[in-house]
Chains A and B, each alone.
Chain A
């Protein structure tokens, strides 16, 4: 099945820093993208979404940027906190309704 089977890259930051997590998506037909946060032992949790008619969307301490030209998505977390430590996944909707996840990134925040 469609999957990401690679070992997860890790981003280590200090508390208070801004974090940027990147994701390359695969299908130029995708028109809806979501970032999920997954803490150890839990299911993924929605963070923020963006549609393909936008290139930027802001939430509380988070911003998602979409570059359709190079099929790139990024998640920016402002003033990163230890509670932000988790694995972050981007997801896209190629074709129709299916939600396909990209390679996750482990974020480690040091106090």
Chain B
């Protein structure tokens, strides 16, 4: 597609349930990022994938959060046993190379609400 695609656009889940958020990056982009944005606040880094290198998971807030990227393309962010504080917009971005070289393009985000 023309841009980064995220699905679903909105997700309401009950506390304690697991959720999966999907990101389709721009074709050919080797770098992929996940960020979390709470209402009215900035972007919190979660995880970064670059090609076949080991991902940078330093931003994942707890072991309930995990992400994978299959075949160097689509990525899934999984949140297990969701809590109300997980409610936020989850943004995915991709770039042609690493962050030091090229701009990152963002998707529209998935708004997660945990009730």
Contact of A99 among B41, B104, B108, B109 (CB under 8 A): B104
Q: How large is the interface on A (under 10, 10 to 19, 20 to 34, 35 or more residues)?
A: 20 to 34
Which residues of B line the A interface, CB within 8 A?
4, 31, 33, 35-36, 38, 40-46, 48, 50, 56, 58-61, 91, 93, 98-101, 103-109
Complex contact A43–B41 (CB within 8 A):
no
**A5 and B42 within 8 A (CB):** yes
Contacts of B50 in A (CB 8 A): 97
How far, in whole Å, are A99 and B100 apart by their CA atoms in the complex? 8
Residue of A nearest to B101 (CB): A32
A44 to B35, CA, bound (A): 11
Cross-interface CB contact of B43 among A4, A7, A96, cutoff 8 Å? A4
Which of the candidate stretches A13-21, A63-71, A101-109 sits at the interface with the other chain? A101-109
A-B contacts, CB under 8 A, total: 93
How far does the Cβ of B14 sit from chain A's closest Cβ, in whole Å?
24
Chain A residues in 8 Å Cβ range of B105: 46
Seen from chain A, the residues whose Cβ lies within 8 Å of a Cβ on chain B are: 1-8, 31-32, 34, 36, 41-46, 49, 89, 93, 96-104
Determine if A1 and B58 form an interchain contact, defined as CB atoms under 8 angstroms apart.
yes
Residues of A within 8 A of B60 (CB): 1
Q: A42-B108, A43-B91 are in contact. Are A32 and B42 (CB under 8 A)?
A: no
Q: Tell me which of B31, B33, B40, B100 contacts A7 (CB under 8 A).
A: B40
A31→B98 CA distance, assembly (Å)? 12
